[in-house]
Amino acid sequence: MPQYFSRSANSFARFTILGAVCVLVAVCWLGYLIVRSPYEMMQNVPREQPVPFSHEHHVGGLGIDCRYCHTTVEKSSFANIPATKICMNCHSQMWATSPMLEPVRESYRTGKSIEWTRVNDLPEFVYFDHSIHVNHGVGCATCHGRVDKMPLTWQAAPLTMEWCLNCHRHPERYVRPRDQVFSMDYTPPPNQIALGKRLVSEYHIQSLTSCSTCHR
Amino acid sequence: MRIFSAVAMFSLLLFLAGCRQDMHDQPKYKPLGESRFFADGRDARPIPPGTIARDELNDNDSFHTGAANGEFLDAIPLKVDLNLLHRGQERFNIFCSPCHGRTGDGNGMVAQRGVKIPADFHTDRLRSVPPGYIYQVIKNGYGAMGDYGDQIPVNDRWAIVAYVKALQLSRDATLNDVPTARRAQLSGGNQPPLLGAPR
């Protein structure tokens, strides 16, 4: 019986096996990339809100400080979402009949909460604390981006474990002087590493990378 | 053989069923979160009327009310030093300047967008009010101005009062009010300013 396959078919077969393995790895890698992609993490996607609240107008335009609304950000783990009353400080007189603000007025009348859509959302097995970051010279903009340019709020950072650890391993690359934490247009100086090293020792910043720092 | 590998591949797919979000979204309460238990859907419970937080039983305490024996305090019940003024400046710029402006003449950004702020801290009437009165405006509000009792803790309220008083004094201060050692700064010396430029 004549041979159906030439000898070269052998190496072809071996090559296909190798190919199959490669394809499998590539598929897994692709899956990983998709799961970690900004799309899946909903990074940079402006979220619909019950009231089209704009940081661009209130922070960029009016220059209101973050702490006017996010009152507990310096003292507690939670930054606070402002109570309806805080909006009404101004909007009882300003845009007081605008239909855009009807949910705010309704909430004020009835005492029902406005249901904001969460933008930055860590899984619930992760512990995060605002006060420690803010008091150690990590600026809002480092993690939340240029909030003052957001007509609707979006998530600016990937919020993966890799991202947190990158800073916890090298805090000197990111820390800034404490009085610049709330400033949106601070740009790191060219000698950031030198400045960062000085601040890290001045503020007694440790490199916290043990698992129980964030998983507790 | 072919069937075997097809079955194997499909059973691999079953692992995907393990990708659930149970650990990501646990049924625990986080601040200002949602609750399916309480009728109003909030996990943060409204404070029952009459509740007094620890250290806040302060009905008769002039430090908390700004008044004693029916009179507004005419002195700030804290040590007024540069630290307090710095704190006051920072808090004033956060909470008051959007309406009253950085210098207190009622010309903040909100006023510039069309809401009149009929209060100028540099009128004779407001210059002569006692500190306890300003404290009480912050705590309880005044006329069209909402109260800031929830946003600003007691010590910070007094710090703001101190800073408002400093703003008022600075309006018509003369060279003689400046300590001799500091006068050089006024003529453009390069010492850092006493109260830093507003941030």
pLDDT computed for residue B60 by the predictor: 65
Residue A110 touches partner B, C-beta closer than 8 Å? no
Residue B40 DSSP SS3:
coil
A130: left (phi over 0), alpha (psi -120 to 50) or beta: alpha
Residue A84 DSSP SS3:
helix
pLDDT computed for residue B197 by the predictor: 47
Nearest-CA neighbor of B170 among B186, B181, B187? Answer: B186
Contact B96, B153 (CB under 8 A): no
- Would you kindly state where each structural domain of chain B is located, as residue ranges? 103-174
CB < 8 Å to B30, chain A: 78, 124
Bridge partner list, B72: B67
pLDDT in tens, B39-91: 888 988 888 888 888 877 776 688 888 988 889 999 999 999 999 999 999 99
Distance (Å) from the alpha carbon of B150 to chain A's nearest alpha carbon:
9
- Could B109 and A93 be called an inter-chain contact, meaning their C-beta atoms sit closer than 8 Å? no
Q: Report the distance separating Cα A121 and Cα A115, nearest Å.
A: 15
Q: Which of A32-41, B91-100, B106-115, B147-156 has the lowest mean pLDDT?
A: A32-41
Q: Report the distance separating Cα A172 and Cα A197, nearest Å.
A: 5
- Could A85 and B42 be called an inter-chain contact, meaning their C-beta atoms sit closer than 8 Å? no
Nearest-CA neighbor of A153 among A214, A79, A91? Answer: A79
Bridge partner list, B67: B72
- Could A62 and B109 be called an inter-chain contact, meaning their C-beta atoms sit closer than 8 Å? yes
Q: Is the pLDDT of residue B20 over 70?
A: no
Write out the two tokens for A46: 């402006």
Residue A98 touches partner B, C-beta closer than 8 Å? no
DSSP string, B2-20: HHHHHHHHHHHHHGGGG--
**Mean model confidence pLDDT for chain A:** 91
- Could A94 and B93 be called an inter-chain contact, meaning their C-beta atoms sit closer than 8 Å? no
Residue B155 DSSP SS3:
helix
How are beta strands B71-72 and B67-68 bridged, if at all?
antiparallel
CB < 8 Å to A96, chain B: none
What lies within 8 Å, CB to CB, of B68 at 6+ separation is B62
Residue A99 touches partner B, C-beta closer than 8 Å? no
DSSP string, A172-215: GGT---GGGTT-SS----TTHHHHHHHHHHHTT-----SHHHH-
pLDDT band at B199 (very low <50, low <70, confident <90, very high): very low
Residue B63 touches partner A, C-beta closer than 8 Å? no
- Could B94 and A67 be called an inter-chain contact, meaning their C-beta atoms sit closer than 8 Å? yes
Residues B140-154, mean pLDDT to the nearest whole number? 92
Q: How many CB atoms lie within 10 A of CB B69?
A: 6
**B103-174 topology per CATH:** Cytochrome Bc1 Complex; Chain D, domain 2 (1.10.760)
Distance (Å) from the alpha carbon of B154 to chain A's nearest alpha carbon:
14
CB < 8 Å to A62, chain B: 98, 109-110, 113
Residues written for chain B: 199
Residue of A nearest to B147 (CA): A89
Q: Report the distance separating Cα A102 and Cα A11, nearest Å.
A: 73
Contact A70, A78 (CB under 8 A): no
CB < 8 Å to B99, chain A: 90
pLDDT computed for residue B19 by the predictor: 62
Burial of B172 (0-12, 13-18, 19+ CB in 10 A): exposed
Q: Report the distance separating Cα A18 and Cα B93, nearest Å.
A: 67
Nearest-CA neighbor of B92 among B172, B173, B135, B156? Answer: B156
Residue of A nearest to B109 (CA): A62
pLDDT in tens, A113-160: 999 999 999 998 999 999 999 999 999 999 999 999 999 999 999 999
Residue B141 touches partner A, C-beta closer than 8 Å? no
CB < 8 Å to B46, chain A: 111
Distance (Å) from the alpha carbon of B48 to chain A's nearest alpha carbon:
14
**pTM of the full structure:** 0.91
What is the separation, in whole angstroms, between the first and last Cα of chain B? 74
